[in-house]
Chain A
C-alpha cells in the first residue's frame, strides 16, 4: 500500500513538474518559432506554435540591413567582458582586504560596505551625481559604471568565503616566508577562492548582458552606443528605429516598407537571448551554488 501511494506521488509530482517545465519553456519556443515564420503568415495567423510557412527572412533581414544589430551586439559583448573583469578585480581585492583579521580599521571599512545595502539614495540623486558631476551621459561609461560594477552584497559574500575558505595561517606563513601581500593574494588566496570568483563573475556577467536600464537612462542621444538590450527595448515600440539608426538614412523609407516587422521583432529577441541560453547549461551548477550561498546570508 505504501508503494502504491509512493507511486501515485511520483506520477503527480512528475506531471506537475512537466507542466511547470512547459510553462517555463513554451514562451521561448513560441519566440523561436515565430521568428522562423513567414511574415505574411504571422500577420494572418498571429504568433503561433504551428506555423504554416517557415521562412528565414527575418534573420536574413537582420544580418543584411541591420548592421545596427551587429553593432549593438558588439557593444553588449564589450560591455559584458570589460564590466565583468573590472567587477571581479574590484570586488575580489576589497573582499580580500576585509577578510584580513588583523587589519586596523577593518570594522569601519566593513560598515562602509555594509551600509550601502541598508540605505540607498535612489535614482534621482544617483542620476544627478553621474550626469552633473561625472558627465557620464551619452558615453560608454554610462553603461559600465552606474550600479553594476560591484555591490555590498557581492563583496560581503566573497569576504565570508575568504574568511572561511582561506585559512589565515596559510597566508601568514607565506607572508613570513617573505612573499609580498600582493603575491600572497595572487598565488595563494585567489586559487583557493576560485569557486566564489567564478560565481560572482557569473552574476556580474549576466547582470551586464541583461542590463538595459543604464542605457535607457544615460544614453539619450548616442544611440550608436546602444547595447542589444537597448536596441530591443527601442524596437518593441518602434520597429522603424532599426532603419533609422542604420547608417544609410536616405534608404530609410525604402527599407521601411520591406521590413518583415512582425517576425523581425521576434528574431531580434532570439538573437538577444541566445548567449544566455547557450551558456546556461555550462554555468548552471555554479549559478545554483551561488544562489544557495547568497540565500544563507540573505
Chain B
C-alpha cells in the first residue's frame, strides 16, 4: 500500500529508490531462490495425496482419486498407531524434558563447585552427536549377542539375555531415555540463562528472612520461571505433530517387530515413500501432518501472543 502512494506521489523518486536498493535485492536473491526451490516448489506436489500416482504419468498427469487415499489411510490401523505414537511420545518428551531441564538448570545455577562448567559441557555433548552414532551407542548396550546389558548386567544377576531389538515392551522407555539423554543439556540452557538473569537481591532478602534453599527454589525461582516454562512448552506443543526421525528410525534400527511402538508419522511417510513404494499413502499421511502441524503452530503461537507478545513468533 505504501508503494502505491509512492507511485502516485512521484514516479522518478520511486525509480531511484529501486535503483538504490537494487544491490540489496541482488543480495537477497540467492536465499530467496533457495527457499523457493526447497520450500515453495514442492507445495503443488501436495496434490499427490488426492491422486492415484502413476510414475509414467507423473504427479500432475495421474488420475484424481478424491479423498479415497485419506479414507483408506484412516481405515487402516496405521493412521491410529502413528498418530498415537507421535502424540504420546511428544507429550511424554515435553513433560520429562521440562522437569529434567528445570531441575538441572536450578542445580547448575546454585552449585558453587568449580566443576560446574564441566558438568554443563558434558551433558550438552550428546546433543551434538548424529542419530547414526547414537544408534551405535545404544547398540553397544543393547546388542543381543555382544551388548553390555546382556553380557555384563543381566548375566551378573543370572538373568537370561533379552533380545532387545525384537521386544517392543521396552522401547517406550528406551526412546524416552535416549531422547532425554540427548536433549537435557540443550533444554536446560534456556532455563539456566533465564535463572542467571534473575535479581539476586530476592534470594538475599529471602535468606535473611530465614527461607530455606528449598523455599527459595519453590517460592522464588519457579514462580519467576513460569513465563519461560509456559512459552517453551507451548512452542513444543506447536511441534507436537512432528517427530525426530533419527530417534524413531535409527535408534530402533528400523526393526520391523518394533513398528507398533516406534512408528511415527515421519517414519511412516518415509517407509511408504522409499521402502514400500506406497507413495499415495505416504503423501496422504504427509499432508495430514502438514495441515495439522500448521494449525497447531498457529494455535500455539496465538496462545503465546496472548501471554507475552515479545515471545511470539509473529
Contacts and interface: CB of A to CB of B under 8 A. Distances in A.
Nearest to B191: A295
B123 interface: yes
B89 interface: no
A118 B295 CA distance: 9
Nearest to B30: A90
Given A96-B27, A120-B290, A147 B147 contact: no
Interface in A1-57: 2, 5-6, 9-10, 13-14, 16-18, 20-21, 23-25, 27-28, 30-31, 34, 42-43, 45-49
A156 B268 CA distance: 31
Interface stretch (A60-68, A123-131, A191-199, A248-256): A123-131
Given A94-B32, A147-B38, A124 B129 contact: no
A184 to B, nearest CB: 9
Interface stretch (B42-50, B73-81, B90-98, B168-176): B42-50
Contact of B126 (A14, A24, A93, A206): A24
A10 B31 contact: no
Contacts of B43: 121, 125
A97 B35 CA distance: 15
Contact of B132 (A113, A118, A155, A233): A233
B164 to A, nearest CB: 13
User: Which of A18, A24, A132, A276 has its CB near the most chain B CB atoms (within 10 A)?
Assistant: A24
Contact of B118 (A5, A21, A119): A21
A177 B111 CA distance: 53
B79 to A, nearest CB: 16
Interface residues of B, number: 106
A146 interface: yes
Contacts of B39: 116, 120-121
Contact of B23 (A132, A181, A229, A232): A181
B202 interface: no
B135 interface: yes
Interface string A190-215: 00000000000000001001111100
B110 A121 contact: no
A25 B148 CA distance: 15
B143 A124 contact: no
A84 interface: no
Contacts of B152: 45-46, 48-49
A276 B34 CA distance: 28
B283 A124 contact: yes
A73 B305 CA distance: 46
B284 to A, nearest CB: 9
A124 B266 CA distance: 11
Interface stretch (B180-188, B219-227, B256-264): B180-188
Nearest to A266: B140
Interface string A61-94: 0000000000000000000000000000111011
B292 to A, nearest CB: 11
B290 A104 contact: no
Contacts of B136: 31, 232, 236, 265-266, 269
Contact of A47 (B111, B148, B186): B148
Nearest to A133: B41
A291 B189 contact: yes
Contacts, number: 290
Contacts of B124: 284, 287-288
A5 to B, nearest CB: 6
A6 B111 CA distance: 9
Contact of A123 (B130, B132, B193, B269): B269
B141 A94 contact: no
Contact of B279 (A5, A100, A124): A124
B190 A292 contact: yes
Contacts of A117: 313
A211 B130 contact: yes
B133 A273 contact: yes
Interface in A266-298: 266, 269, 272-273, 276-277, 280-281, 284, 287-288, 291-292, 295-298
13 contacts: A10-B111, A13-B111, A17-B107, A17-B119, A30-B141, A31-B136, A48-B152, A89-B30, A93-B30, A97-B27, A124-B45, A124-B282, A129-B42
Closest 9 A/B residue pairs (Cβ): A46-B151, A94-B31, A125-B45, A210-B130, A125-B42, A97-B28, A181-B23, A295-B190, A122-B286
Interface of B: 2-3, 6, 14, 17-18, 21, 23-25, 27-28, 30-32, 34-35, 37-46, 48, 58-59, 103-104, 107-108, 110-113, 115-116, 118-126, 128-133, 135-141, 143, 145-148, 150-152, 181, 184-186, 189-190, 193, 207, 210, 212-213, 232, 235, 245-246, 250, 253, 266, 269-270, 273-274, 279, 282-283, 286-287, 289-290, 293-294, 297-298, 311, 313-314
Given A30-B141, A128-B42, A209-B130, 5 more contacts: A25-B125, A34-B140, A118-B298, A120-B39, A292-B193
